[in-house]
Structure 1
Amino acid sequence: MKSTPISLLLFLLTAYTVASQTVTANKPADYIYASDGTKLFAKVSGKGPVCIFVHGGPGMWSKSFEVLKGNNLEKKLSMVYYDQRGSGRSDASVSKNYSIDRMIEDIEDIRRSLGVEKVYLMSHSFGGIIAANYAKKFPEHLNGLILLNSTLCVNNSIEGQIKYINGLLNTNFTITNSNEIFPVFSKAKNKLSEKGLEYTLLSESKKTVALLDSIDREKPNNNDFGRNVWKIEEYIHDFRPMTAAISIPVLVITGKKDYAIGVDHYKLFEFPNQKTVRIDGGHVLYYERNKEFTQAVFSFIESQQIQNK
């Protein structure tokens, strides 16, 4: 998770209504073609209502989440592990289009390929920007949105990382205008790396981050999205104000020690129908605090099913 300055930001029960359909006959063979012809990796595994996982990065993949205990969700959910175009096992965009609209259309293409009317959408880290924008455009196709350690404002999360580094190292990296955010962050991160403490942005455990890195080293050398994302200005926008207009049920899972996203980042979300679960951990809660994480997700799903009866 180290290919771009923001990489450290580097998310049920049996169906009883159309709104909780499970994957059956329309299960794809790990790949689909998006509506513009781009080949996307989309693996389906598990049982229960469909939940599409939107990984972070930008430019990473879904495998690390899946194998680091994220697959425990398969006990009650039909999990869809997909790699975003230009990332992991998916192809680079044939149309050279990596806009937010195109990324959320890919999720729509996956949903349609599965033949289900509604799904749950779960994001991690940078994936929150894509997932929240999907929820705004296609609320009618969502049972709920789950934001796991997710950012909705890249600049705010970077500023939080710089503040954390200053506190940890007793440094004074300062941003005086918005154009300085990435350069200052780069200097602060380099200083953290010199001290051998870069892993602390993600976890208190160096062993956990080493394990995560070992899995991510298996990723195919396809980082077209990561190379192009910061050329697209819209990804730097602050999407937190937009949350007030997203009325579907939302579960926010945040880490009390997630210094990659910011421990208070979630406080400026304004979803009208939001539940927040704070877990004593960092950016890799799905692995290090898997029991609490899965319990929070399953409780949210079950509560939605009860309300929809």
Structure 2
Amino acid sequence: MLTSDGVALYLKVSGKGTPCIFVHGGPGAWSRSFEAMGGDVLEKQLTMYYYDQRGSGRSASSPDNDYSLNRMVEDIEDIRSLTGSDQVYLVAHSFGGVLASEYAARYGDHVKGLILLNATLSINYSLRAQIAFVNQLLGSHVTVENEDSVLPSFLAAMRLLGEKHLRYKMLSDNKATVHLLDSIDRSMPRNYSFARRALEMPEYAADFTKETAGVHVPVLVITGTKDHNIGPDHYKLFRFLKQTVKVIEGGHVLYYERNRQFAETVFGFVADAPDRNIDLLEAAANDQ
């Protein structure tokens, strides 16, 4: 598909039911690993829209290097418009939480429900959580002197973890899971333009948990007890007004390692979702 500013995005549509846009993480990853490792189970009840963000995966780069949060949100709106549905679900994994929650804040009338799966709303919080986990695991003493040193300290911690061949621990206790994920990620050439720019863009370093109290859509938070990539307690900072939390035993790849529980949780949320068209009509009538 072409975005409203002319960038070609990879998009695959599959399934049945209400449209649901999957917003992948990274920054700069892609949607294929989620789809291939069990995320497609959602197609039983939802029409899934798998897209790769601009400058990511199988999508084209922005010719003017526009990877701003505003533009990434507009890309989601372009996909929502393409569905032909006034309201859609969003499933966001990892860094995708930043993009999806910002979309819900701006375009809440078009969101039937927001599903945050192992999602971060603060990159710096999650980088600090990863550093703390490395220190705990290795007995190391990587410190963060100030906000400007979070990324260099994180990279130092990852080097230590790599030297011990334990980087898989950030995603799962099961090395085979991460091996499968890596094999999918290496299966074809990918675009890394967004990945190379995102962590250098100050707007993505903001703490978006502070905006959650202003989001009025129904929200399902699915979090893992051992998700050291995000921080197992990160969800406790969320203040969505209509929030349901499901804590599942596991790490950052719950959609694969706890696939049945993941699917049942999402389908339960979808089944309980109110008719937001009626809610919006009633709200409009009350405003008159």
Calculate the TM-score normalised by the size of structure 2: 0.94
Whether 1:302 aligns to 2:268 is no
Query: Which residue does 1:87 correspond to in 2?
Result: 56
1:218 counterpart SS class: coil
Whether 1:76 aligns to 2:21 is no
Distance 2:63 2:19 in 1: 27
CA positional deviation for 1:230: 2.3
Query: Which residue does 1:137 correspond to in 2?
Result: 106
Query: Which residue does 2:85 correspond to in 1?
Result: 116
Query: Which residue does 1:24 correspond to in 2?
Result: none
Query: Which residue does 1:126 correspond to in 2?
Result: 95
Q: Which runs of 5+ in 2 are unaligned?
A: 279-288
Query: Which residue does 1:214 correspond to in 2?
Result: 183
Query: Which residue does 2:28 correspond to in 1?
Result: 59
Distance 2:276 2:3 in 1: 34
Query: Which residue does 1:183 correspond to in 2?
Result: 152
Distance 2:264 2:39 in 1: 12
Calculate the TM-score normalised by the size of structure 1: 0.88
Q: What amino acid sits opposite 2:164 in the alignment?
A: K
Q: Which runs of 5+ in 1 are unaligned?
A: 1-31
What's the % identity of the aligned pairs?
A: 53
What is the aligned residue count? 278
Distance 2:257 2:199 in 1: 30
Matches within 5 A, 1:213-232: 213-232=182-201
Larger fraction in helix: 2
**Contact in 1 for aligned 2:112/2:276 (Cα 8 Å):** no
Distance 2:112 2:275 in 1: 12
Matches within 5 A, 1:263-302: 263-302=232-271
Distance 2:184 2:138 in 1: 29
CA positional deviation for 1:59: 1.0
Deviations along 1:65-102, one digit per CA (max 9) or x if unpaired, are: 00101101100010110000011111111332100110
CA positional deviation for 1:308: 7.5
**Contact in 1 for aligned 2:55/2:195 (Cα 8 Å):** yes
Query: Which residue does 2:122 correspond to in 1?
Result: 153
Distance 1:214 1:194 in 2: 21
1:97 counterpart SS class: coil
Distance 1:304 1:185 in 2: 39
**Contact in 2 for aligned 1:248/1:273 (Cα 8 Å):** yes
**Contact in 2 for aligned 1:61/1:219 (Cα 8 Å):** no
**Contact in 1 for aligned 2:219/2:242 (Cα 8 Å):** yes
2:221 counterpart SS class: strand
Distance 1:54 1:256 in 2: 22
- For the aligned residue pairs, the C-alpha RMSD in angstroms reads 1.2
**Contact in 2 for aligned 1:89/1:219 (Cα 8 Å):** no
Query: Which residue does 2:65 correspond to in 1?
Result: 96
Query: Which residue does 1:242 correspond to in 2?
Result: 211
2:114 counterpart SS class: strand
**Contact in 1 for aligned 2:124/2:205 (Cα 8 Å):** yes
Q: What amino acid sits opposite 2:165 in the alignment?
A: G
Q: What amino acid sits opposite 1:195 in the alignment?
A: K
Distance 1:220 1:138 in 2: 33
